[in-house]
Amino acid sequence: MSSATKNWTEPAVCFGWAQQCGVLVEIEDDRVTKITGDRSHPVSAGFVCPKGAGAHVLQNEPSRIRAPLKRGVREGEWVRVETPVGGVRQQARLTDTLPGRVVHADRWW
């Protein structure tokens, strides 16, 4: 049985800074392997800062938090919260903290 490697490049926008530079994201087997500047982007014209170019390292970091967490009962304990529950709780907390302001939370990942 042969396992074919899926490689492709996806154009995207880096939101690391306000400039929102155009980037090309190289993907191999559903993992981001490299991020480079997109020369065809009308604003950044191929420029990407070190933060944007290194973003794939953070995404692939094994210790990265990949789900909403809340503090557990014991010191240093973290408990996973299901996404809809975590989002609703956080939105309620923000609404209570910022009375009179609209807080919209439509995505929690």
Q: For residue 51, give the nearest of 21, 12, 31, 27 by alpha carbon.
A: 21
**Type of residue at 83:** T
In this predicted structure, the answer to whether residue 1 has a pLDDT above a threshold of 50 is: no
Domains for the chain: give ranges and CATH numbers: 7-59 (2.20.25.90), 65-109 (no CATH)
Take residue 68 and report the two structure tokens written for it: 């909403």
Q: What is the pLDDT of residues 66-109, one digit of tens each?
A: 777 888 899 989 888 776 655 666 666 665 655 555 444 444 43
Give the distance from CA 105 to its chain's centroid.
16
Task: Report the percent of the chain where pLDDT is more than 70.
Answer: 72
First to last CA, the chain: 35
- pLDDT confidence of residue 91: 62
- pLDDT confidence of residue 104: 45
